């Protein structure tokens, strides 16, 4: 240990290996050997040492944490989460594990779990600007997540957390960058621009910051200022594709179509999967009367995004000017169909927001009517079907209708964790225990933070007298909810029952 403190890792490694030769059941030395090996990059040998330490002493929390880090470093996210949970069960105040578990949940797609962990970290460590920064960014990303009902509270809290982080760490440009981007989301271009300039001043050689200032100026209508910033970004990094795309848009807005076409062609070569840049290039080429070039680019845009109705409308104009009237009409009709669906989705989102307000006010009947209208308007909107099913469940609605809506939601979005959990509850009510377990397990694969699903599995295992399974599930549950005395008691009883078995 002394050699480790002196950073004489190879000498320390030799001593630790001597220690385990003398005492193969020395969990601490196995863990330290793993740590030294992992310092050179996560390896099978390091993982093996951590696993051996846990075999010797299952309650040695550092080995669980270190094994989780190694799993995380090798892309084994689900296994990493299992070990982070074990570390937190044994040491609930291990902030590093809670932070790492948050990042792993985000990587897995459990956005709610990641955010709740960061909120806990910030509450316990208010001076942690790193946690506040990550929390602000993740709240903003959840607000913007496609297919989900946006919550304005997420946006408000994101701004608050980023402002506090900036006060705590005023020389950190990435905080100002994130805050500026969030403020732009609130349609505050002046406020966003001021913050983004602050970020750029702190990182004058980073093209990303110049690009964001240029984009803010473009959105504000200051095309001269935007062009200057975007060209500066491209001088710093000619491969800064978003800056190249924005410069093309600025030049188009200034009326210099030839120069805009040059920039947008370069942007398209750097962003081959970007439908928007193809659409803008097609529109510029159409303005230059390059009909074949415009049609080619617009067709590429539509192939990349078949629901891009604006690109279809521009393509229809190009085809019409090229004398292809029948093809133009087909594109126009398809654009109209897609736009109708888009408007219906927008109306459905408004109905979901209204339904949420009515549920909070206790007007269930009105909420259900709005949710049913939303599913009729936008039948492919998974969130609407899920919200309807959840509201029906809360109001003791018809079980058959609940299951039907949940199946529809899952057909549209197979990775909707809460819909799997709700379906598990419905199957439990039907007495279909096996199907219920499968749904709860799938929900937890997608969102390890769904504690109610974990508790349900633990209680089912308890009822089946499957003590090892009950213990495993209760252990994971208390990692998330260490203050749940009833769960802690149930875990102890399951452990006692296993001993007596």
Residues 391 and 473 in one domain: no
Q: Is residue 20 part of a domain?
A: yes
Q: What is the DSSP letter of 414?
A: T
Grade residue 75 by pLDDT with cuts at 50, 70 and 90: very high
Q: Is residue 365 part of a domain?
A: yes
Q: Is residue 27 part of a domain?
A: yes
Q: What b-and-e string marks burial along 442-476, b requiring 16 or more CB atoms within 10 Å of the CB?
A: bbbbbbbbbbebbbbbbbbbbeeeebebbbbbbbb
Q: Rg (Cα) of the chain, in Å, rounded?
A: 28
Grade residue 397 by pLDDT with cuts at 50, 70 and 90: confident
CA separation for the pair 291, 278 (Å, rounded): 14
Residues 362 and 451 in one domain: no
Residues 3 and 87 in one domain: yes
Q: How many structural domains is the chain composed of?
A: 3
Half-sphere exposure of 162 (CA within 13 A, CB side): 26
Residues 437 and 348 in one domain: no
Domain closes at, from 379, 413, 447: 413
Positive or negative, the CA dihedral 265, 267, 269, 275 is negative
Grade residue 159 by pLDDT with cuts at 50, 70 and 90: very high
Are the beta carbons of 77 and 105 closer than 8 angstroms? no
Grade residue 184 by pLDDT with cuts at 50, 70 and 90: confident
Grade residue 42 by pLDDT with cuts at 50, 70 and 90: low
Q: Is residue 439 part of a domain?
A: yes
Domain closes at, from 107, 139, 173: 107
Domain closes at, from 76, 107, 138: 107
Grade residue 340 by pLDDT with cuts at 50, 70 and 90: very high
Residues 384 and 443 in one domain: no
Global pTM reads 0.90
CA separation for the pair 471, 221 (Å, rounded): 61
Residues 463 and 500 in one domain: yes
Residues 46 and 90 in one domain: yes
CB neighbourhood size of 195 (10 A) = 27
Q: Is residue 317 part of a domain?
A: no
Q: Is residue 270 part of a domain?
A: no
Average pLDDT over residues 137-154: 89
Q: Is residue 246 part of a domain?
A: no
Residues 380 and 352 in one domain: yes
Domain that holds residue 369: 333-413
Mean pLDDT (the chain) is 95
C-alpha closest to that of 472 among 449, 446, 450, 498: 498
pLDDT score for 148: 79
Residues 406 and 478 in one domain: no
pLDDT score for 189: 74
Residues 409 and 479 in one domain: no
Average pLDDT over residues 378-394: 95
Using CA atoms, how far residue 51 sits from 46, 410, 462, 469, in Å, is 9, 37, 27, 20
Residues 97 and 36 in one domain: yes
Average pLDDT over residues 194-198: 95
With pLDDT > 70 as the criterion, what percentage of the chain qualifies? 100
CATH code (residue 474): 1.25.40.10
Average pLDDT over residues 452-471: 96
Is 80 exceeded by the pLDDT of residue 325?
yes
Is 80 exceeded by the pLDDT of residue 29?
yes
Q: Is residue 179 part of a domain?
A: no
C-alpha closest to that of 281 among 307, 306, 245: 245
Are the beta carbons of 95 and 121 closer than 8 angstroms? yes
Phi-psi map region of 465: left, alpha, beta (phi>0 left; psi -120 to 50 alpha): left
């Amino acid at each position: 240990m002394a050699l480790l403190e002196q950073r004489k890792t190879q000498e320390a490694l030799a001593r630790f290996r001597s220690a385990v030769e003398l005492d193969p059941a020395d969990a601490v030395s196995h863990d330290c050997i793993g740590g030294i090996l992992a310092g050179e990059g996560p390896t099978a040998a390091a993982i093996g040492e951590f696993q051996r330490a846990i075999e010797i002493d299952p309650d040695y929390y550092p080995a669980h944490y270190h094994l989780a880090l190694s799993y995380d470093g090798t892309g084994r996210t689900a296994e990493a989460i299992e070990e982070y949970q074990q570390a937190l069960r044994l040491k609930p105040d291990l902030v590093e594990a809670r932070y790492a578990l948050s990042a792993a949940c985000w990587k897995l797609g459990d956005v709610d779990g990641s955010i709740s962990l960061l909120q806990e970290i910030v509450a316990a460590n208010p001076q942690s600007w790193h946690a506040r920064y990550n929390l602000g960014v993740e709240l903003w990303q959840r607000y913007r997540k496609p297919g989900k009902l946006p919550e304005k509270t997420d946006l408000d809290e994101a701004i608050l957390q980023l402002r506090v982080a900036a006060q705590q760490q005023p020389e950190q440009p990435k905080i100002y960058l994130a805050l500026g981007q969030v403020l732009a989301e609130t349609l505050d271009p002046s406020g966003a621009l001021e913050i983004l300039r602050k970020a750029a001043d702190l990182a004058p050689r980073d093209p990303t910051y110049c690009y964001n200032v240029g984009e803010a100026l473009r959105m504000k209508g200051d095309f001269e200022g935007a062009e200057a910033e975007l060209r500066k970004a491209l001088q710093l990094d000619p491969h800064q594709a978003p800056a190249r795309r924005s410069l093309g848009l600025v030049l188009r807005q200034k009326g210099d179509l030839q120069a805009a076409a040059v920039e947008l062609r370069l942007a398209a070569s750097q962003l081959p999967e970007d439908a928007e840049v193809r659409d803008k290039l097609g529109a510029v080429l159409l303005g230059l009367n390059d009909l074949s070039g415009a049609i080619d680019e617009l067709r590429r845009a539509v192939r990349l995004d078949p629901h891009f109705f604006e690109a279809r409308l521009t393509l229809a104009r190009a085809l019409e000017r090229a004398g292809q009237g029948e093809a133009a009409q087909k594109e126009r009709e398809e654009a109209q169909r897609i736009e109708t669906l888009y408007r219906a989705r927008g109306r459905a989102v408004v109905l979901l927001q209204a339904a949420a307000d009515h549920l909070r006010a206790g007007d269930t009947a009105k909420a259900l009517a709005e949710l049913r209208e939303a599913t009729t308007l936008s039948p492919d909107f998974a969130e609407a079907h899920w919200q309807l099913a959840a509201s029906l469940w809360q109001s003791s609605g018809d079980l058959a209708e609940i299951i039907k809506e949940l199946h529809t939601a899952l057909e549209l979005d197979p990775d909707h964790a809460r819909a799997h959990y709700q379906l598990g509850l419905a199957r439990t009510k039907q007495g279909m225990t096996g199907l219920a377990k499968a749904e709860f397990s799938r929900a937890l694969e997608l969102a390890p933070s769904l504690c109610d699903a974990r508790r349900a599995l633990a209680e089912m295992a308890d009822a089946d007298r499957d003590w090892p399974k009950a213990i495993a599930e209760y252990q994971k549950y208390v990692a998330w909810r260490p203050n749940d005395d009833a769960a802690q008691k149930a875990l102890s009883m399951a452990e006692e029952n296993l001993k007596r078995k």
